[in-house]
Structure 1
Amino acid sequence: MTEFDPAPTHRNFYGRRHGKTLRQSQKGYLSEDLGSLRPRGITVEENPDRSPIDPAAIFGDARLVWLEVGFGGGEHMVAMAARYPGIGIIGCEPFINGVAMLLGKIRAAGVSNLSVHPGDARDLMDVLPDASISKAFLNYPDPWPKARHHRRRFVTPEHLIPLHRIMAPGAEFRVATDIPDYMRQALEEVPKAGFTLVHEGPEPWDDWHSTRYEQKALREGRVPHYATFRR
């Protein structure tokens, strides 16, 4: 495998891209705000030869860069941006309703250290340089509960091998889920991709910010679990 392999001409995507009809305010966020927050050079149209992008160009300096895969409604991402204003955070989310919710929260919080890729995290990982990400988050990912769909989960080699490549030595990869079988698969597959398990259990991180999906899990009686891996 070369350092920067071209993206496949066709890549399967599973999951929703659109949900219920957006409110007018959310449509405004997408039309007015997304363009300035979206990193360039991710799509095949913008970057057909899949050349590596420069993360410093996204935030205007050589700050540390974190990655959130599937940010949902954006609660965690905005909270982390506000808590760590000197860090640049790139979030990936193909569900456009979630993107619209995040943009509204960015406006309300007034944070300016976020970048938003409204698409598949694999497309972003294709073009990020080696060792360019200092921390990554996978919070309440789609559980794909049926056994035949487990290969669609993020904690598979298709995602974890490129994630390992883009993360800096010593970088932290955090996983939060309320699905025991998802954590089982993470504990099996993430170390195979080159990560070391640091901690796993029911207690969240000191700077954890709960998400809408965690609150739903708690209301429905499911127990969250958190795991920390190190590159």
Structure 2
Amino acid sequence: MASDENQLAGGAFFGRRRGRPLRQHQEQSYEAGQKAYWLDLSTAPPSRLTTLFPADVQEVRLEIGFGGGEHLLHRAIENPSIGYIGVEPFINGMAKVMAALALRPLNNVRLYGEDGVNVLDWLPTASLAGIDLFYPDPWPKKKHWKRRFVSQTNLARFHRVLVPGGMFRFASDIEHYVNWTLLECADHGGFEWLADNADDWRKPYEGWPGTRYEAKALREGRVPAYLRFRRST
């Protein structure tokens, strides 16, 4: 369920919840995956967030809106000592990730299929090493800008749950949303933009696997920006 704040703002930060009907094997993977990977927010978070995972992880990172899960799964496989919480309200995207996990189970992943704000409000203070927000819905019409996930309210949430020095990474192919994010982070004052020259935001992050959405944007002539912010105060 969307938070009260989202309802007052005119709706949740995400758009549609479902695309094409799931195939039988996707439905089965989705149901099995909920039992194995679902993040239960009905209980209090553990004092040590790393204990959410069967794996012996050293830190925890959050990806909000993982789409088809290309980046989330790549990072989880690449870094078994890091715990990853993935949030995706779009059921088809969640089903795709759960189908992949059925073929290759990972014990350093937890998933949540509702509004990312719910997870942010549930997490303990200073519990995350990083937050990733890649290609979020840009809500291009001005009347919908209040539904953009990057806002002063959500940046305050990020600031609370990130450890000092923790990273917030934002990628988008929508220039206005990139500029919006730079201004919002500057206005907040608690995030340092890590860029000395244009290559620092034009080049993908180290080890970046790419995503299907990014590939589509490039085909259509839109140039992505890859921003990095450090929690500074």
**Aligned residue among 184, 196, 199 for 2:192:** 196
Give the direction of change, closer, same or farther, for the CA distance of 1:185–1:85 in structure 2 (3 Å limit).
same
Partner SS for 2:100: helix
TM-score, scaled relative to structure 2:
0.87
**Aligned residue among 54, 59, 66 for 2:53:** 59
Residues 4-43 of structure 1 correspond to what in structure 2 (within 5 A)? 8=4, 11=7, 12-13=11-12, 14-40=14-40, 42=41
TM-score, scaled relative to structure 1:
0.88
Find the counterpart in structure 2 of residue 3 from structure 1: none
Contact 1:78/1:109 (CA < 8 Å) preserved in 2? no
The number of aligned residues is 218
Any idea what the Cα deviations from partners look like across 1:71-126, whole Å, max 9, x if unmatched? 00100000000111100000111111110011122233443211001111100111
Structure 1: runs of 5 or more not aligned? 1-6
Distance 1:70 1:219 in 2: 22
State whether structure 2 residue 104 is matched by structure 1 residue 114. no
Give the direction of change, closer, same or farther, for the CA distance of 1:214–1:62 in structure 2 (3 Å limit).
closer
Residues 66-215 of structure 1 correspond to what in structure 2 (within 5 A)? 66-193=61-188, 194-199=190-195, 200-215=200-215
Contact 1:26/1:104 (CA < 8 Å) preserved in 2? yes
Compute the RMSD of aligned alpha carbons: 1.8
Distance 1:129 1:191 in 2: 25
Contact 1:131/1:167 (CA < 8 Å) preserved in 2? yes
Find the counterpart in structure 2 of residue 220 from structure 1: 220
Distance 1:180 1:53 in 2: 39
Structure 2: runs of 5 or more not aligned? none
Any idea what the Cα deviations from partners look like across 1:120-159, whole Å, max 9, x if unmatched? 1100111100110001111111111111111111111232
Distance 2:102 2:220 in 1: 31
